[in-house]
Structure 1
Amino acid sequence: MVAPKLYTFLCANFAALGASLFGYDLGVISYVLAAPNFLSVTNLVESTAENLNYQGFIVSSMLLGAFVGSIPASLVADAFSRRTSIVVGGIIFILGGILQTAGQNKETILAGRFFAGVGIGNLALLAPLYQSEIAHPSNRGRLIATFQFFIGIGAIIAGWVAYGVAQTHPGSAMQWRLPLGLQMFPAVPLVFLTFLLPESPRWLMIQGREEDALHNLARLHARGNRNDALVQGEFAELKAKISEERAVSSSWREIFGSMTNLRKILLGIILQFSVQMTGVSAIQYYSPRVYSAVGFGGNTPLLIQSINNIVGLIGEALCILFIDKTGRRMPLIWGNILSGSTFAVATALAKQFADGGGSYSQGIAFVAMTFIYNLVFSACIGPLSWVYPVEIMNTAIRAKATAMTSMAAWIANFMIGQVSPIAFAQVGWRYYLVFTVCGFTNAIVFYLFYPETKGRTLEEMDHYFKNNHWLYPLAHVRAVSDREREEELTKGGDALQKGDEEGEKKLEIRQLETGAV
């Protein structure tokens, strides 16, 4: 049997298949909007203000669907299990994919994008949530970061498939229907195989199924050995924390009635909004327009974006490798500083072309800036927008609270998707100034308000946030290494098995210090 951390990593990767659907949809739409037959079928050939607005709505309707789907997904996840909600999301996405692929008018395609978005909203909530609840404390960031990695995989597949079809079937219906149809394939294993995954031990504990929770915890972290010291330590902490949470309602009243929970949700919402204000979606959705404005014609903008998707995947792989060593704060701070810097240079270059100048070398430099930006975003910003919100919530409210932070991601994404075509048409290069400024302001916000969560257990997050100053530089919190908590839990579990009173007392003290009781 494979090593426990490899097994949980594989489980996390399967759950992250839902992210590939999101990435594919993000990546494919810019190619679809560039297909002449698509514009003809949807009657959007003329670049009137009304048509540009409708194009924006086709792009952003998927995000509106994701917004609508988030809260129902959290309710299904709490009531019927994390796995059930993932399956429901996969089914809804397939329905949306069918409507898009077979669409004969803009209304049907709009409906298909919306339903696909409902499914994506479901999966984007549940995959990181499930990943966080099965992970070891030492590699939780790595597991959740696979979500963004699979977004990148989906975007790459979409880009190269759409670019290839545009080369072989230019101007035909195949140019856009085939890429849209292929998006449904990753949803099939999610629908039919998700129940082979172990259910979240934390959800089982909330349901009062302690034996099942212990069984799954052992299956995930110790090759099924219930007597493993780490499993025993984790189970003791989890049981103590869940007992505390059972005394508190998991309803909306508990979310809005607790300053600690409100603080966490606010941090998650700000983080998700900040991601969109770096400019990622404006480039992703409208790459043909972006690169055409700096001198690249024909299918070259599509090729550039396809290469850029590979750059993004490299960044996401770097994040998976290092996130549990670097933590969350520093990548967010420095990533946004670098993001703002690259946009500052890109803005100056775009202005040259808007003023009637601009050379081929300046166009190449602009492309290079977008590549550097995408590498930084993918390594430091994008993955952490899924990692941080889900890991700071306690088990009782995790699904509902994360749904609220995810809704912020979708509404911000919707705004960018809707506004961008009009902004590009009316203010041109000046639109990039927004993303330049926001990169630097984001960094300041993260420095001031975001506590480091690396290495800490999910069960200690409540205590950690309650006892932290809202201004993090004033908190004076001791850093935790990526493996420190696991070593403590293993020692505690070993003491429980041996009846070591001194060791048990140390475990109790640790639980008190971290708020696990």
Structure 2
Amino acid sequence: MGILALVEDRPTPKAVYNWKVYLLAAVASCTSCMIGYDSAFIGTTLALDSFKSEFKFDTMSKSAQDLLSANIVSLYQAGAFFGAFFGYPLGHFWGRKIALLISALVFILGAGLMLGANGDRGLALIYAGRVLAGLGVGAGSNITPIYISELSPPAIRGRLVGVYELGWQVGGLVGFWINYGVDSTMAPSHKQWLIPFAVQLIPAGLLLIGGSFIRESPRWLFSKGRREEAIRNLTWVRQLPEDDIYIIEEIGAIDQALEEQRSSIGLGFWKPFKAAYSNNKVLYRLFLGSMLFFWQNGSGINAINYYSPTVFKSIGITGANTSMLTTGIFGVVKTVVTFVWLLYLIDRVGRRNLLLVGAFGGSVCLWIVGAYIKIADPAANPKTHMDGGGIAAMFFFYLWTVFYTPTWNGTPWVLNSEMFDPNMRSLAQACAAASNWLWNFLISRFTPQMFAKMEYGVYFFFASLMLCSIVFVYFLIPETKGVPLESMDQLFEIKPIRNAHAQIIAKLREDEENFRHDIQESGLAASKMGAEQVEDTAVEAGKYA
């Protein structure tokens, strides 16, 4: 198969790949816009002279400033950690749609609190607002990938969950550039640093408005016994009639999966907890999903996202405005490469290969950047202009971005959204999202101290972790592209892992051929029976005549 070919589990009508499923994914992904914007804007906002002046940073020691900045940044991740678990009961009892709306409302409340902070009131409102905003995005980070994956045809599921990652990068792009804009066009003032905080309300408002009109997940409706509504939503999303063979097959697969869960795990709220505790296979997969986010954060991405001015200063970039410009370019590179990942890579190259290539290439780049800082020591030998070595270090830093962004940035979210059966998916996604926010919190909390103590060693530390992730992925993570959600259990049972994808796709195609053959045989039998009945009727009529 060519790199541009889609891997389909069965013949799929073109109508299935329609605008509606993309629109639903885009609306839900406003959640990731909120996350991406925060990860990008907060570090550069804290670096604004107007913010430092209003909250009297100049009266503090360097270590006290680092601690204050770390607290402001990391409270958001702490809230998100608990929000990820909060999203589980929301999604289970009230559905994916209501859960997304609640997460948007909580985030708006938190963002609104931050706008009330000033020098006289202190930072208390910012602290409280960031915890609440974190609760909102934590719940959203749990629900959004689940919602999108449950709507997606298998062949483009990675692309659609990738829209979630694209929203992250678009939000980040705005966040990286917003402070460069206010720093370049406005004099230092209360309004200057308040504008970046206010912009948070835009993606949250879009989610609240758009979320009021999106359709509930058919898979969730089936699990709650709301069959007629589920079929209506499924046919609306697929743009196919209820009697189309594709719809019949999909409903049959969902019914079969739910029946298997009913007889094994169960469909209740506490059943997944019991399964995770008592079923080693489920517990193992939860471990894999959570560890993917350990390795993702082990790449150093969130150290760079939240403290980009510190990172670029360590390479030798001087001047606040120049640092913000360099950070803005970093955001552009990430966004452009994310489009390539979304449109061409995730559903063609696959999840597993992307992780392996990204880890190796990214590690090499970080070793080179760290070696330059060790040899040149820009902090002890400041220069007004970057020399050839500094330019080369910046090149390899941006090359690291090119390796990391289309691989480890979004692929762990795709894998976690699809590698669990429907009844375990909400709890599993809660654990995965909480794992992401836990490692995110630790990185954001201690990055300033790491740079202060380790200097160039920070880059070697992250480069080493990226090499270790190669071993983890190669031996433990199977390829999942094109595999239906209902067949993930079978995929993980195949050993060795590197051969699992080819075997499961071959089995699915064989099952599909058998199913269609049975349908045709049933049709021929029915036609033959009908013909015999007509013949018998004619004979009887002749006798009567």
Q: What is the TM-score of this pair, normalised by structure 2?
A: 0.86
Query: Do the aligned partners of 1:61 and 1:113 also contact (CA within 8 Å) in 2?
Result: yes
SS in 1 for 2:423: coil
Q: Deviations over 1:321-368 (max 9, x none)?
A: 221111111100111011111101110112234274585222222222
Map of 1:40 onto structure 2: 53
Q: Say if 1:72 and 1:311 are closer, same or farther in 2 by CA, change over 3 A.
A: same
Query: Do the aligned partners of 2:15 and 2:240 also contact (CA within 8 Å) in 1?
Result: no
Between stretches 208-217 and 445-454, larger displacement belongs to 208-217
Query: Do the aligned partners of 2:491 and 2:501 also contact (CA within 8 Å) in 1?
Result: no
SS in 2 for 1:326: coil
SS in 2 for 1:320: helix
Please, which of 333, 336, 359 is the counterpart of residue 311 of structure 1?
Answer: 333
Map of 1:364 onto structure 2: 391
**Are residue 339 (structure 1) and residue 356 (structure 2) matched?**
no
Map of 2:251 onto structure 1: 235
**Are residue 455 (structure 1) and residue 472 (structure 2) matched?**
no
**Are residue 175 (structure 1) and residue 192 (structure 2) matched?**
yes
Unmatched 5+ residue regions in structure 2?
1-13, 526-545
Between stretches 493-502 and 255-264, larger displacement belongs to 493-502
2-structure distance, mates of 1:57, 1:497: 65
Map of 1:478 onto structure 2: 502
2-structure distance, mates of 1:382, 1:21: 16
Map of 1:192 onto structure 2: 209
Query: Do the aligned partners of 2:16 and 2:153 also contact (CA within 8 Å) in 1?
Result: no
Unmatched 5+ residue regions in structure 1?
503-517
SS in 2 for 1:208: coil
**Are residue 67 (structure 1) and residue 81 (structure 2) matched?**
yes
**Are residue 160 (structure 1) and residue 177 (structure 2) matched?**
yes
Please, which of 292, 296, 301 is the counterpart of residue 323 of structure 2?
Answer: 301
Q: Deviations over 1:121-160 (max 9, x none)?
A: 1111111110000000111011001111111100111122
Say how many residue pairs are matched. Answer: 497
**Cα offset for 1:497?**
9.1
2-structure distance, mates of 1:352, 1:306: 27
SS in 1 for 2:422: coil
Query: Do the aligned partners of 1:27 and 1:284 also contact (CA within 8 Å) in 2?
Result: yes
Map of 2:34 onto structure 1: 21
Q: Say if 1:484 and 1:83 are closer, same or farther in 2 by CA, change over 3 A.
A: farther
Show the 5 A alignment for 1:109-508: 109-221=126-238, 223-247=239-263, 248-249=265-266, 250-298=271-319, 299-321=321-343, 322-354=345-377, 356-357=380-381, 359-465=386-492, 467-469=493-495, 472-473=497-498, 478-479=502-503, 492=515, 499-500=522-523
Map of 2:541 onto structure 1: none
Query: Do the aligned partners of 2:367 and 2:460 also contact (CA within 8 Å) in 1?
Result: yes
Q: Say if 1:40 and 1:206 are closer, same or farther in 2 by CA, change over 3 A.
A: same
Q: Say if 1:501 and 1:266 are closer, same or farther in 2 by CA, change over 3 A.
A: farther
**Cα offset for 1:406?**
0.9
Between stretches 30-39 and 446-455, larger displacement belongs to 30-39
Give the letter aligned to residue 334 of structure 2.
G
Identity %: 27
**Cα offset for 1:60?**
1.1
Q: What is the TM-score of this pair, normalised by structure 1?
A: 0.91
**Cα offset for 1:278?**
0.3
2-structure distance, mates of 1:487, 1:50: 64
Give the letter aligned to residue 342 of structure 1.
C
SS in 2 for 1:362: helix
Please, which of 4, 11, 16 is the counterpart of residue 4 of structure 1?
Answer: 16
Q: Say if 1:158 and 1:72 are closer, same or farther in 2 by CA, change over 3 A.
A: same
Give the letter aligned to residue 297 of structure 2.
Q
Q: Deviations over 1:417-468 (max 9, x none)?
A: 0110011112211111111101111111100110111111000112222x23
Give the letter aligned to residue 472 of structure 1.
I
1-structure distance, mates of 2:106, 2:516: 43
Give 1 or 2 for the bigger CA radius of gyration.
2
Give the letter aligned to residue 19 of structure 1.
S
